[in-house]
């Protein structure tokens, strides 16, 4: 098994979080993602909240905020 530098793994996770931001206008394009992955000199922007988030509170009085990725799948079959 190969070992990876911790900072490389964190950078990849950071870029992944940029790709799943709630507002699609804030997500980087593929050419930008490739540039981010291949260049360590580019400063990455701080990611905003991802599109699908689960948060929970520690006490009974706290409110819960969560969303579910809901998708329908259609299977086409011949008659």
Tell me what pLDDT residue 73 has. Answer: 75
**Average pLDDT for residues 19-24, to the nearest whole number?**
89
Q: Using CA atoms, how far apart are residues 5 and 14, in angstroms rounded to an integer? A: 14
Token pair in block for residue 3: 């070992």
Tell me what pLDDT residue 31 has. Answer: 96
Token pair in block for residue 53: 């988030």
Question: What confidence tens digit (pLDDT) does each residue in 47-77 have?
Answer: 987 776 665 555 555 555 555 666 777 777 8
């Amino acid at each position: 098994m190969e070992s990876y530098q911790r900072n490389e793994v964190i950078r990849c996770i950071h870029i992944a979080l940029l790709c799943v931001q709630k507002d699609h206008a804030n997500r980087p394009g593929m050419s930008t993602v490739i540039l981010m992955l291949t260049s360590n000199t580019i400063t990455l922007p701080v990611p905003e909240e991802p599109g699908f988030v689960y948060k929970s509170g520690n006490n009974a009085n706290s409110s819960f905020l969560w969303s579910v990725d809901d998708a329908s799948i259609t299977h086409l079959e011949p008659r």
